[in-house]
Chains A and B, each alone.
Chain A
């Protein structure tokens, strides 16, 4: 069965520092992968996605993620965090042939001044 692991429940980063959020997936076929962000009381906003091709994908708000098949990982990065980035981040794998996403448990990002 498909699964996604986000090992960090909470991460605190100083404003201006770099960020890396970890995501590992388990999926038998070629995965398609997503990162979404959720602000309190809001829905999910797509940050970026990987379907195929270049393993380094760029997203909105200065985020990027790298797909590493050998490590079954799709970590999210940002070189310099802004206070407005404080939110919860979800990694998800799409199940081929179905419009179904399997989500990780999320990582809550706190940004300190």
Chain B
């Protein structure tokens, strides 16, 4: 079974631009979570989607948004990029999003904001 895939793997943007990252979960997984990883703040939870609904959101500004499609693929969008948004963005999927489940991570998208 294929793992979690994320596209693109690398991205360079300039301040003020917006960016969209994509995540395809493991086949059959319906929950998708997003995390931001930076050297200063570590791994931080952004949000989680299940059945096209955002169920949980971390402490990030409204510039960070996401969505999930009926096939469970998810996108996250960052508008008005700031230098501090440079990070590795990781997507994780789990089966049903109920109770204690294992999250499986993709390889990440590395975003550099200039």
The tally of residues in B whose CB lies under 8 Å from a CB in A reads 28
Contact residues, B36-68 vs A (CB, 8 A): 42-43, 45, 48, 50, 55-56, 58
B 97-114 binary contact with A (CB < 8 Å = 1; else 0):
101111111111010000
Q: Which residues of A contact B97 (CB under 8 A)?
A: 99
Across the interface, do B56 and A99 meet the contact criterion of CB distance under 8 Å? yes
Which residues 7-32 in A have Cβ within 8 Å of B in the complex? 32
Knowing A49-B102, A99-B55, the reply to whether A106 touches B42 (Cβ < 8 A) is: yes
Question: How many A-B contacts if CB must be within 8 Å?
Answer: 62
Q: Determine if A42 and B108 form an interchain contact, defined as CB atoms under 8 angstroms apart.
A: yes
Cβ of A67: which chain B residues have Cβ within 8 Å of it? none
Within 4-37 of B, Cβ neighbours of A (below 8 Å) are at 4, 6, 31, 33, 35
Residues on A lying within 8 angstroms of B by beta carbon are 32, 34, 36, 41-46, 49, 51, 90, 92, 94, 96-106
